[in-house]
Structure 1
């Protein structure tokens, strides 16, 4: 089981790595074209709103509710085929997919049309500071008008990505992880292409990027259709609001809509408050968040993607021992990558930001501002990763009520932290508040699983994490000694920066690997022991 998970995790991580690298290239292009000024703030805002709803209707709450039910139906089909000694034709699974896709299609079409028509309302709600400037005819009011226009272009992305996510969930449940993991690459290619080739033909560079988001969603949607057909899961959608499978998903998804999207709601609250802060605040938070998302997406989401279907299947087969062991395995794997990522980004934040973004409209001051936000976000990196593993421990058991209660507590805490920190630390306070609320979220998720007797950190994993923390600390010291002061980095040519940064990263990775070997960490530490306590 563990070998299969490791193989699947590696496939997802490699595909995610390609996507994240292209995502960084996309952000480099955006930084070069627009920097952190008005247009950058507005485009990032217009891209964030449909992505928030994507978390609700696509990868987030929907997938968390859909995958366990789909796994249950697949197990039923397998059992029925075994009983009748016949071929598994996936009748119940195909019917469920048809019913879910038809029902989701009607709902998501309505939401998308409303979003396009009501884009000024969304901008008023989540960018209220811009609306106030526009209403009072004050300087900066043009941001409200531009954001409303761009949002009407980017909102259809929600429709495309919702069906791409449904297709990806089906393929993931069947063990075909590569397709869904590769799909985000196409979005980045579309945005980069429009930024480079489409900007001369649009009103502003921000409009070109907005159309890139639209086209990226369309391409992702079309890309997965042949793979669904090949898997025998391309079915005709049908409306089935009252069918057994859809009712079960509805029951699971309603609380999950809030619970699994707490982080996204927190980010939107940050955006709302940031709209009242100085120009550039939204962009600084965005670039810091993008750097945080690189290790989080590569390792946290990569492992979580393969863990959820496995946990759902184990729950359907009533195998609590291996269920707990699989969660423990997930914590060990993301810890292996999470701690060095945290240490490396802490020490090399400013050089990395310089190499990636400091050109064109992106200034030295922007490097400093983004690095401060990144430091604040990094305090919660491991918490964000642990949430990706612990939350599926609830959703795989079709328990969405507990995470929603925890989510409410975390969101309220985030609002309190925002009000406490933003007046003194500005946008950095918003980033720190997000990290603090994520840490609370992760701790409450773990405490709930432990109290329910579902999962408790094993002694093996606690010792394992201790060794990783020590190894990451040694790595940080090595990299710190090899790195230069901020002023020295500024004086370097771009090529010298790349060489120096590469030396630091390679030396850091080598020292980390050497330390974990010296401390006795071996491949056996990544097997799933059903008898772990």
Structure 2
């Protein structure tokens, strides 16, 4: 399956996931608004979610996927099955222990990630209770990450990409049917998290059975003595630190946000959710497809294929990332008003969320690019370099916070994350070039010139159309029609301008 076809499959399913996610967030915003209770939920959910990204989807996949590709290339089928079983055994034990410790240490964890919440004892107690209830979510999602890695390595990208839809459906059903049944309605969202975890794991187990993989636990002692498992653990050590640096930045920013008044954590969460659209549709999709391909090319010593895959991914990032950044910047108020404004989510909430979206949009190209550039190192089993770049990015983010937060409040936190991502991605790209790992293929100057001109034309048109429009004052049906028309028109204008400048669809096909 080609890079474009694979990425298109994932992007299509990811789009469906994001659409259900938008429906989910629209309902949550309308039912719950931006309050101390929603802040408590998002703080509590961020803890297991952060560990999921750190422990499962982050460090684990970065270490496991290249090793699994190598085992598939060099060992018989029985050796691959034994390796997967041994990794499952060690991973399941580890996440069980982490889940138990998280439940016990919930008050300390809430204080660490959102110290400002301690000023409101009721919100702090609620966040602690929600954390204890939802913390086992990491166990479900770690095992989901294992199954997804196996499926992706077998080039079965569809099911892992579709699985997040189940979590969104769980949220939608819980919001509509359970919220009114709790004395504190926000507990319905916690039930949705655990229910979604169970559904996602069940789907992945079914997917593995379809390809004849039946994971079963083995002796922990034997699993730890497996040389390939030890190599995964060795690779995970620096990867944990690298991903941990990024998660530490999120933790620090959440803590700062908790001191900025009720609603700040929720506003940032909705802005982040909106930014996940382009990040997931392109960055995550391409990164998921690229890592196994890059790993296999490196294992075979095929440097030409490795370079071509990476170059192709970077061109797609520029093609979509640059106009998406400009578009989100200029349509932030329109999008937030259309998606989230309602009975409990006021025009003021719209305004505060929109300025956070603008902050993130400044660094969107870095947020997307990082999903493509980092796998170039992971595929070579080089985890240390991304770790060093991530640490530098953390320092940059916090230095920017010192200046941006006093002037821009929570929007300054979004801006620092965006700019930090640009620094991180740019640093890694420079290193790839200096080490001779990546060499840009011909045609980059012409491609960037076309993209820049088309993006400027599109941006100017979007700005002109919105002059004097107060999106929060419009009825929802008018907001919906206006936003959908604006986005569709911008896309047509952008690609039309590209075509007029000589760009053709064949230009995005790999060499």
**Is TM more than 0.5 here?**
yes
For residue 203 of structure 1, give the secondary structure of its aligned residue in structure 2: coil
- Find the aligned partners of 1:462 and 1:22 in 2 and give their Cα distance: 38
Matches within 5 A, 1:130-529: 130-131=117-118, 133=119, 140-238=120-218, 239=220, 240-487=223-470, 489-529=471-511
- Find the aligned partners of 1:37 and 1:395 in 2 and give their Cα distance: 40
Deviations 1:20-44 (A, max 9, x none): 1111111111111111111111111
Q: Does 1:24 align with 2:22?
A: yes
- Find the aligned partners of 1:73 and 1:327 in 2 and give their Cα distance: 23
Deviations 1:49-78 (A, max 9, x none): 11100112221111111000000011114x
RMSD: 1.4
Q: CA deviation at 1:339?
A: 1.9
1:87 corresponds in structure 2 to none
Contact 2:370 2:424 in 1 (8 A): yes
**Of 45, 63, 66, which aligns to 2:64?**
66
The verdict on how the C-alpha distance between 1:46 and 1:449 changes in structure 2, with shifts beyond 3 A counting, is same
**Of 62, 81, 95, which aligns to 1:94?**
81
Deviations 1:259-284 (A, max 9, x none): 13443322221101111111111111
Scaled by the length of structure 1, the TM-score of the pair is: 0.93
More divergent stretch after superposition (378-387 vs 460-469): 460-469
Matches within 5 A, 1:98-137: 98-131=85-118, 133=119
- Find the aligned partners of 1:306 and 1:228 in 2 and give their Cα distance: 18
Q: CA deviation at 1:484?
A: 4.2
Contact 2:329 2:362 in 1 (8 A): no
Q: CA deviation at 1:448?
A: 1.3
How many pairs align? 508
- Find the aligned partners of 2:264 and 2:339 in 1 and give their Cα distance: 19
Scaled by the length of structure 2, the TM-score of the pair is: 0.97
- Find the aligned partners of 2:475 and 2:406 in 1 and give their Cα distance: 38
- Find the aligned partners of 1:502 and 1:408 in 2 and give their Cα distance: 39
Contact 2:115 2:258 in 1 (8 A): yes
Contact 2:286 2:313 in 1 (8 A): yes
**Structure 2 unaligned regions, length at least 5:** none
**Structure 1 unaligned regions, length at least 5:** 81-89, 134-139
- Find the aligned partners of 1:251 and 1:455 in 2 and give their Cα distance: 26
Contact 1:350 1:486 in 2 (8 A): no
Contact 1:263 1:434 in 2 (8 A): no
For residue 343 of structure 1, give the secondary structure of its aligned residue in structure 2: helix
Matches within 5 A, 1:33-48: 33-48=31-46
Q: CA deviation at 1:241?
A: 1.7
Q: CA deviation at 1:419?
A: 2.3
Q: CA deviation at 1:453?
A: 0.7
- Find the aligned partners of 1:4 and 1:44 in 2 and give their Cα distance: 38
Contact 2:341 2:472 in 1 (8 A): no
For residue 155 of structure 2, give the secondary structure of its aligned residue in structure 1: coil
Deviations 1:478-497 (A, max 9, x none): 2222224243x333222122
